[in-house]
Amino acid sequence: MAKNLVIVESPAKAKTIEKILGKDFEVRSCFGHIRDLEKDDMGIDIQNNFKPKYTIPEDKEKVVKELKKLAKETDEVWLATDEDREGEAISWHLCEVLGLDPEVTKRIVFHEITKPAIEKAVQQPRLLDMNLVNAQQARRILDRIVGFELSPVLWRKMSMRNSLSAGRVQSVAVRLIVEREREINTFNAVSSFRVEAFFTAKDLQGKNITFKAEGPTRFKTAEDAEKFLQQCVGAAYSVKDIQVKPGKKSPAAPFTTSTLQQEASRKLGYSVSKTMLLAQKLYESGKITYMRTDSVNLSDTALGDIQNAIVTNYGQKYHQHRKFKNKNESAQEAHEAIRPTYMENASVDDSDTKKLYELIWKRTIASQMSDAELEKTIAKIDISTNHDELTASGEVLKFDGFLKVYMEGKDDEELSDEDEDDGSLPPLAVKQALDLKEMKATERFSRPAPRYTEASLVKKLEELGIGRPSTYAPTITTVQKRGYVEKRDKEGIKRDFRIMTLKADKITKVTDTENTGAEKSKLFPTDLGMIVTDFLNQYFGSVMDYGFTAKIEGEFDEVAHGKKIWNNMLNEFYTPFHKDVENTLEKAERVKGERQLGTDAESGKPIVARMGRYGPMIQIGKAEDEEKPKFAKMKSTQSIETITLEEAMELFKLPRNLGKFEDEDVLVNIGRFGPYAAHDKKFYSLKKEMDPYTVELDEIAPLIVEKRAAKDERTIKIFEKEKIQILKGPYGPYIKQGLRNYKIPKEKIDTAADITLEEAKAIIEDVKANPPKKKAPPRKKKAE
DNA sequence: CAGTGAGCGAGCTTCCGCTTGACTT
């Protein structure tokens, strides 16, 4: 046994460090936090000054046991968890659990995993910083209180289903999406006319080329735009003035978790969870540095490495040393920026991770490369018939610099229709006469802010200081899993726009159509998300405030710096918060999310859109009416807030009876799992392209035949009377009786077709007597 | 996997942040 035990958080890190430290040191990982608050009674003794009650989660018992054993056997334990609030707390929990004295136990930190950095760290151990630990405890306890007091309020006050949740991070994430959706719904597009003139002039080779010049202003009406074109009839054009300005572009900082997620989304179309999964693979195989970081810092060794790679690949003049600063210098910088471990590897062999790795490599290289140098030319063009002038601008790249390797992508949010690339202009001289090919006034509409993508939501959350690199991806998953938010596409709608063209002194007018409002893989709030957000906003405005996290982070910092006592800080938060909880439980009405749509023309009964137990629906008539109300489930793309009376009435065309197939009626409807056809007491899901409102009988019949065939295909054997089936599943053959499945013992898997009734019964009895061990998380205490 | 939508009440759910490994009914 080695004399020293070093504990770090990540096992991949442990391996590398052990090699560096040599045989006197054994390096182990604790896999993140090893203790958490108990679930019962929130795990907090609020009366007793918020005293936390910690427990070791089941899936950490093994690690803790192992570390305890090793700690006993070694002379000295070194705590080398990350240098941030959470890392400090992990070290403290290790002290508590391993029986180490925090007054003497050595605490070390390193910012890069290199021999000199680690050896230096070992020479400069410090002690635990209890202020920092207390700041973490305050953070943990506050989050538990918010989550475990707000969620039950929702269970009581929402008339929809259960397992709703609320929390400091997730509820604000949903709020962002809800508010963006409403902005879009209430947005009024305003049109204006943009004038573009196309001229020809000779280039250096004497060839005629066409370039574009912008009109003096955007015209608010078609009349104004036409008047302008009218004034240009018979005009002569000449260059009035030329300005040449140098410009430059600089590369973006190397990747953090959030910028990596954004770029992988923009350039590779990856979801944030896919990006993180692939990054994890690259990290574990030693290809990149740690992937959960908010630091843009690069270590000195990395900087040398990058410089080498740039000089070798592109030459000295492409290198420029840069130091990037983090925006919020509150410094939870436990790690470096995300970069390749070895810059000499410009790619990896693995096909899954190849694209992501190359993106990281390019971004890292570019971040230490020279600026791109531009030359921007602006030419003003005189119109002989009026006082206005046109502007032509062109941009020429003089030196490509970092653009040789990498250009950061843009979100829709940052794009505008003026954003088209400036091309190059032909050489022009002042007073030079120009030939007008044509001039166009095109109608353009203002656009609302675009819906969030997963990645642009992460960007926004990061700007607000909400969430951490390790939680961005899980948060996005949670709000979708809870049914507050959906990721989907939206079809655009056709819109007419007008174009007026001046050509050969004649004006012509045409109307064209464009597609507008189409979205791909965007986040939409559900009705549930909107209703829950409105409720939380109404009763818990302070927690839902976009500045809430920033405010309490400031207080956590004060605790960390010893300027505030953590219990007092929590008490200041809790007293008014808990009052709001009690007040809401007592006074708030149960929320139904009802919206009146009008009255039914036939019966005169009221029509409402509202949340039912199973989701949004339309109801005609009231529950207390003599005749039962009629119900129709809304489509997943519709929303209570925006559905029209016409759209609502359309829904009552289901269920449709399509007629008889094999003497039985075929009914089409939409159920819990989407559109289906029912026939002879069996159900058949409609194919994606089938519309339940228009689908015909002859499209359904093959569906029925197909499903029967698939079932025969899966069946190996049936014992009719006992209701025992031997079936083929994705993991091989298994036995099914009633609704339960039973695993076939290994030795019989290959001869599953030969299993007799007696053998099958024996297997079932055996499995029932020795139920397979359940894995730790789904520990349901359901009585069988 | 399924066709529901009243009201009651049992029994259940839930947070954020740190880390990976499960291994199929």
pLDDT in tens, A423-440: 889 999 999 999 999 999
Q: What are phi and psi of A314, to 5 degrees?
A: -125, -15
Most confident of A353-367, A613-627, A638-652: A353-367
Average pLDDT over residues A234-259: 96
Question: In this structure, are strands A615-620 and A606-612 parallel, antiparallel, or unpaired?
Answer: antiparallel
Nearest-CA residue relative to C1' of B5: A612
Answer yes or no: is pLDDT of A418 > 70.
no
Q: Write out pLDDT tens, residues A587-598.
A: 998 888 899 999
For residue A782, the model assigns a pLDDT of: 31
For residue A420, the model assigns a pLDDT of: 63
What is the DSSP code string of A434-479? EEEEEEEEEEEE--PPPPPPHHHHHHHHHHTT-S-TTTHHHHHHHH
A411, exposed or middle or buried, with CB in 10 Å at 0-12, 13-18, 19+? Answer: middle
Q: How far is the CA of A527 from the C1' of B20 (A)?
A: 36
Q: How far is the CA of A699 from the C1' of B2 (A)?
A: 20
Nearest-CA residue relative to C1' of B21: A59
Nearest-CA residue relative to C1' of B15: A147
Nearest-CA residue relative to C1' of B25: A741
Say which residue, A753 or A493, is predicted with more confidence. A493
Q: How far is the CA of A431 from the C1' of B24 (A)?
A: 79
Q: How far is the CA of A694 from the C1' of B3 (A)?
A: 19
Answer yes or no: is pLDDT of A650 > 80.
yes
Say which residue, A63 or A732, is predicted with more confidence. A63
**Share above pLDDT 70 across residues of chain A, in percent, rounded to a whole number:** 95
Task: Give the C-alpha separation, A186 to A113, whole Å.
Answer: 53
For residue A328, the model assigns a pLDDT of: 62
| Residue A586, CA distances (Å) to A148, A539, A540, A582 in order | 18, 12, 14, 6
Task: Give the C-alpha separation, A122 to A115, whole Å.
Answer: 11
Q: How far is the CA of A61 from the C1' of B19 (A)?
A: 14
Answer yes or no: is pLDDT of A760 > 90.
no
pLDDT band at A681 (very low <50, low <70, confident <90, very high): confident
Answer yes or no: is pLDDT of A488 > 80.
yes
pLDDT band at A774 (very low <50, low <70, confident <90, very high): very low
Nucleotide nearest to A90 (CA to C1'): B18
- Kindly report which listed range (A177-181, A189-193, A621-625) carries the lowest average pLDDT score: A621-625
Q: How far is the CA of A39 from the C1' of B14 (A)?
A: 10
Average pLDDT over residues A525-530: 94
Is there a contact between A327 and A369 (Cβ–Cβ < 8 Å)?
no
As given in the structure block, the two tokens for residue A455 are: 């990645």
Nucleotide nearest to A729 (CA to C1'): B25
Q: How far is the CA of A24 from the C1' of B14 (A)?
A: 46
pLDDT band at A778 (very low <50, low <70, confident <90, very high): very low
What is the DSSP code string of A3-49? SEEEEES-HHHHHHHHHHH-TTEEEEE--S---EE-SGGGGEETTTT
Instruction: Point out the catalytic residue in the list A270, A290, A484, A742.
Output: A290
Nucleotide nearest to A470 (CA to C1'): B17
Average pLDDT over residues A734-753: 76
pLDDT band at A721 (very low <50, low <70, confident <90, very high): confident
Nucleotide nearest to A733 (CA to C1'): B25
Task: Give the C-alpha separation, A702 to A351, whole Å.
Answer: 39
**Known catalytic membership, residue A290:** yes
Distance, C-alpha A231 to centroid of its chain:
51
Question: In this structure, are strands A106-107 and A724-729 parallel, antiparallel, or unpaired?
Answer: unpaired
Nearest-CA residue relative to C1' of B1: A673
For residue A756, the model assigns a pLDDT of: 84
- Kindly report which listed range (A230-239, A372-381, A498-507, A720-729) carries the lowest average pLDDT score: A720-729
Question: In this structure, are strands A630-633 and A615-620 parallel, antiparallel, or unpaired?
Answer: antiparallel
Rg (CA), chain A: 33
**Alpha helices for A603-716 (secondary structure H):** 645-650, 697-714
Answer yes or no: is pLDDT of A56 > 90.
yes
Q: What are phi and psi of A634, to 5 degrees?
A: -80, 155
For residue A784, the model assigns a pLDDT of: 27
Nearest-CA residue relative to C1' of B4: A614
Q: Write out pLDDT tens, residues A355-389.
A: 999 999 999 999 999 999 999 999 999 999 989 99
Nucleotide nearest to A152 (CA to C1'): B14
For residue A2, the model assigns a pLDDT of: 81
- Kindly report which listed range (A466-475, A621-630, A769-778) carries the lowest average pLDDT score: A769-778
Summarize chain A as % helix, strand, coil (round to 5). 35, 25, 35
As given in the structure block, the two tokens for residue A426 are: 């032909």
Nucleotide nearest to A37 (CA to C1'): B15
Over A246-260, what HEC string results?
Answer: EEEECCCCCECHHHH
As given in the structure block, the two tokens for residue A732 are: 């091989």
Which of A121, A71, A59 has the alpha carbon at shortest distance from A96? A71
Say which residue, A575 or A630, is predicted with more confidence. A575
Q: How far is the CA of A15 from the C1' of B22 (A)?
A: 22
Averaged confidence pLDDT in chain A? 91
Nucleotide nearest to A169 (CA to C1'): B16
Nucleotide nearest to A82 (CA to C1'): B18
Q: How far is the CA of A221 from the C1' of B16 (A)?
A: 53
Say which residue, A334 or A588, is predicted with more confidence. A588
Answer yes or no: is pLDDT of A663 > 80.
yes
Question: In this structure, are strands A4-8 and A76-79 parallel, antiparallel, or unpaired?
Answer: parallel
Which bases of chain B come closer than 7 Å to a protein CB?
1-7, 11-25
For residue A783, the model assigns a pLDDT of: 29
Q: How far is the CA of A416 from the C1' of B5 (A)?
A: 46
Residue A750 has a CB neighbour count (10 Å cut-off) of 11
Residue A81 has a CB neighbour count (10 Å cut-off) of 26
Task: Give the C-alpha separation, A556 to A539, whole Å.
Answer: 25
Say which residue, A772 or A620, is predicted with more confidence. A620
